[in-house]
Amino acid sequence: MPNKKILIVDDEISLRESLGLVLEGSGYDLFFAENGNTALEMCKKVKPDLILLDIYLPDRFGMEIVKIIRSVESLYGDPKIIIITGIANSLEDSKIKSSDAEDTARALWKKQYDVADFFTKPFNFEVLINRINEILSK
């Protein structure tokens, strides 16, 4: 059985490299993209099983990428998507507890965009890896 494929999409090279180092021993084939256009091209080529996707990229918003991928399954496959972002942290400034903000964002993204999960930066790598393993074992 071929290895599951994970596409890591983030404009922060340090995060892409860190996730790559953490995941490289897990038996997954890893692919990387630093922006939305590259991510869409990679999806066409490798049809990943899972995408770790930042919301804010230099050329596109994550929600736009999710909509495009979901609109043409024959072209992009049907990957599970985990959102990774720092956006919910800004909600703390508005007196919303961080965990409440993340829970609200997670529920919204799951319902509106059919994503598997939502993590805010900085996140616990072990928790993320466990969630990736859980999602890809289904």
36-86 per-position pLDDT tens digit: 999 999 999 999 999 999 999 999 998 899 999 999 888 888 999 999 988
Cα(19)–Cα(14) distance, rounded to whole angstroms?
9
Rounded Cα–Cα distance for residues 78 and 14 (Å)? 27
Residue 50 in contact with residue 136, Cβ under 8 Å?
yes
pLDDT value of residue 101: 66
CA angle centred on 20, ends 72 and 10, rounded to 5°: 50
Question: What mean pLDDT value characterizes the chain?
Answer: 87
Position 91 scores a pLDDT of 46
Question: Is the Cβ–Cβ distance between 46 and 76 less than 8 Å?
Answer: no
What is residue 120's predicted lDDT score, i.e. its pLDDT?
Answer: 86
- Domains of the chain with bracketed CATH: 5-136 (3.40.50.2300)
What confidence score (pLDDT) does residue 87 get? 63
Distances in whole angstroms, Cα of residue 122 to Cα of each of 50, 119, 128: 20, 8, 11
Indicate whether 111 pLDDT > 70.
Answer: yes
Looking at per-residue confidence, does 87 or 117 come out higher? 117
Burial class (CB in 10 A: 0-12, 13-18, 19+), 41: exposed
